[in-house]
Chain A
């Protein structure tokens, strides 16, 4: 059993102020959108109805939240219990990621107040790929909150004490928490499996979204196996996200990242990257699209950047035990995988998209970038709040401290590689 506890740390740091500023800047443009319309802050038009709000906020957001289901599958379905310490942070990342996908959609949807329409049986549309994505994401978001409930129970059961008028609810909340405590552990396994299933379904369907535009998409990316490629890349990016988030959180809170776990994840990522790469390559050979790479064009450049920078290079880097076991090496390769998947989603939804009557290429407006950046900044801040309120991050044990030799309790300077190299041989 992994012991986790809320982090005790100063909330406001220089980084937090920067994030707050970015969030406020985004909020300003979001407010403008709700007053004057999507057109007032974006470059979206009838040629390009979808921009970075879909490519980054939704498609990349969902892909990068895949750490939640891959880690849950690893620890709870494949029973690799030593990874249990990483499950809660990955779950929190997924929960926040999907919540912010929904928030991002509120800005992008013209009639955001109708966002609940797909739930209504009278409006169900089994033929629509987007319907499947929407329903799966809604159910999965619910499952994620259910998976998070035990953490809330652990934190507040027996300690509910709302002030003032809300005090009358104390008894009810306490009762619910005890009810959850008794029942959830018996059915949680089903929810975890359901979460993995739902993830596989909508991660792949996100790719199927663009299969419907054969005449408006560059052949480098348009393939009927897009759903499979999206699923594979989502599974691949799950662990790198866990690695990134673990190293960054450790740095910010002056802790030691769980390098022995993260490094072995890194090794698995290398294998998955090669699998993904072979599917990409095989698809290109079968469809005969390799010659497109030889033509000097923005598309060819973006494709190569995505594949070489986001797949091949990190795959090779992660093969090396030396890089895998060093914090900067692991961080750099994980970051490359994550950015590679984001670039893939941007390429599929934006770079590859060629309207029939395009007059100029789409590039996001400052308002679109500000809203997207603001959402990401708010998400990171929410993560910080959540790990300080809820027991998410694992408690560092006495053994960990002994191994590390020294422990930085206050501000976290860059982690010493030598200390970690020593640790890996334990």
Chain B
């Protein structure tokens, strides 16, 4: 009897672990009021002024503007790191150079926010994914979880390392200004505004110039949507961006988590069930010492070890 019940319980636990179809692909976002930036890679001239402005605005090293004028940086593919929140890379998919800026995408349903053990990452109501250093304990699960491989860590700092990534220039945003990179861009490759309006704008641009763009706004639906959106003449995967589905990354884990802990009923039920077994088998045990051989397996050996009777 117990055995059958136990199997049933395991079965239902197993079922709970398989996320149902009912699970929304957007557990949280997209936000109605969120801001974003539209990057039109067909306009970018690869001047790297955004990198310079970012470093200056966020007090990162390499302050000299002249050091950003060198094109040698394009010789190898670069990633953002603990002292560079954004980098521009050069690609030549069809012979002609295309430049693409990379930084935190500020996802609508961010994996880092879902992963963080102490809620050091938060999705603000304006769409910014913000980091609160005072909570962080440096487990780096956010870095592991990010599908864009964006957060970076100060591995050589022994006592006060931080997770580093694009801040969306929160202070500037709170003052009503655009992010530093957007403000400095000399060719208006970057457009800052309400995310919903940017998506409309992007689709209008594609409609007006169908030959100029691939008919896809990267970030509109990727991993449930991102605040940063991209337009380009080639698929974004050719510009170093990952090929991602439309489901938000955290939805499977959060579905599992919330089914196991639904109102704490499953854990309490398991607790009660174990107590019940403990109570029901209490008599059986006393005679167990006298058991003749060790051929009965440790769990009571199936039918011959049945306990409830």
The residues of A that contact B13 with a CB separation of less than 8 Å are 228
CB proximity of B216 to chain A, nearest CB, Å: 18
A49–B144 CA distance with the chains assembled, in angstroms: 6
The residues of A that contact B145 with a CB separation of less than 8 Å are 212-213
The residues of B that contact A193 with a CB separation of less than 8 Å are 271, 274-275, 278
A79–B300 CA distance with the chains assembled, in angstroms: 10
B148 within 8 Å of A (CB atoms): yes
B260 within 8 Å of A (CB atoms): yes
The residues of A that contact B245 with a CB separation of less than 8 Å are 214
A212-B115, A212-B253 given; A83·B298 CB < 8 A: yes
The residues of B that contact A208 with a CB separation of less than 8 Å are 253, 256-257
Is B111 within 8 A of A212, CB to CB?
yes
- Contact sample, A vs B, 10 pairs, CB 8 Å cutoff: A40-B156, A126-B261, A127-B254, A129-B115, A130-B139, A193-B275, A211-B256, A225-B14, A268-B298, A357-B77
A49-B153, A132-B261 given; A225·B137 CB < 8 A: no
The residues of A that contact B116 with a CB separation of less than 8 Å are 125, 128, 130
B29 within 8 Å of A (CB atoms): no
A83–B296 CA distance with the chains assembled, in angstroms: 13
The residue from B135, B151, B155, B257 contacting A132, defined by CB atoms under 8 A apart:
B257
A205–B286 CA distance with the chains assembled, in angstroms: 36
Is B14 within 8 A of A228, CB to CB?
yes
Which parts of B288-308 form the interface with A (CB within 8 Å)? 288-289, 291, 294-300, 307
Count of chain A residues with a beta carbon within 8 Å of a chain B beta carbon? 82
A197-B270, A208-B256 given; A224·B138 CB < 8 A: no
A78 within 8 Å of B (CB atoms): yes
A74–B18 CA distance with the chains assembled, in angstroms: 29
Interface majority SS on B: helix, strand, loop or mixed?
loop
Counting chain B residues whose Cβ lies within 8 A of the other chain, the interface size class is 35 or more
Of B52-60, B157-165, B184-192, which stretch is located at the interface? B157-165
Of A30-38, A300-308, A397-405, which stretch is located at the interface? A30-38
A264-B298, A268-B299, A356-B147 given; A82·B139 CB < 8 A: no
Which parts of A191-221 form the interface with B (CB within 8 Å)? 193-194, 196-197, 200-201, 204-205, 208-209, 211-216
Of A108-116, A338-346, A382-390, A410-418, which stretch is located at the interface? A108-116
CB-based nearest A residue for B102: A357
CB proximity of A280 to chain B, nearest CB, Å: 14
A265–B155 CA distance with the chains assembled, in angstroms: 45
CB proximity of A151 to chain B, nearest CB, Å: 21
B281 within 8 Å of A (CB atoms): yes
A110-B138, A125-B116 given; A74·B299 CB < 8 A: yes
Bitwise, A337-360 to B at CB < 8 A (1) or not (0) is: 000000000000000010111000
CB-based nearest B residue for A196: B274
